[in-house]
Amino acid sequence: MKEEFSVLPVHVGFIMDGNGRWAKSKGKSRNFGHRKGSEVIEEVLKTCFDAGVKTVTLCAFSTENWNRPKEEVDEILRILDKFIDKYRQKASKEDIRLCVFGDFSRLDENMKNRIEAAVESTKGGKSGMVNIALGYGSRQEITRAIQNIIKDGVTQITDDTLSDYLYTAGQPDVDLIVRTSGEQRLSNFLLYQSAYAELYFTDVLWPDFKREEVIKALRWFEGRHRRFGKV
């Protein structure tokens, strides 16, 4: 049964947190938790798009995540590589555009090539947009944007100018940020794009964040009165 909403966020960002704690609670390895966490992503995306959300950004791997043990980093990247390669087929079939952004300098060439192929093969998608933030940090993104503005010799700088140099250029600002696992911070995720975003924090760990939890977050957003500085 399709859910109906009176108000919907156009752009939702997900901080997918809690895979390790979920696994620990079950006596399993952190990598087991990451694998299980990857299995709910498609359900989350489908629920969002079925509801009418147009753009979803997933915080998949942050710049800070490079500080984790190498074995865990390698496994997370393997999981993401597999997911991106698999999801591009679904995205192409459902007319969804897939965008992967961040600092790829530490990725191997094969993964870079598969990312490029996924982005290229879905660039004509019109029914929805999925951003995967990989090797991503918002402060680093803003610094990169400013460096490129200077490099291009731009002297008249407005809010729109900076937006045009971000990874999300041309996309709507974020309306709703959802973070799982009980943590209540943005952790360097889409700081500029989320200037007016509603922030939804839940104790549910990411591997348990399925359709009903997505609907719950969207219902919460539906009840918000967004004034944008007005009365």
Catalytically active residues, by annotation: 17, 65
Q: Are strands 198-201 and 128-136 parallel, antiparallel or unpaired?
A: unpaired
| Phi-psi group of 190: left, alpha or beta (phi > 0 → left; psi -120 to 50 → alpha; rest → beta) | left
CA distances from 61 to 22, 30, 55, 75, 90 (A): 18, 15, 18, 12, 22
What are the E-state strand segments in 102-172?
128-136
Closest C-alpha among 231, 223, 230 to residue 9: 223
Q: Residue 173, exposed/middle/buried by CB under 10 A (0-12, 13-18, 19+)?
A: middle
Amino acid at site 36 = K
**Partners of residue 12 on adjacent β-strands:** 56, 176
Closest C-alpha among 94, 81, 77 to residue 130: 94
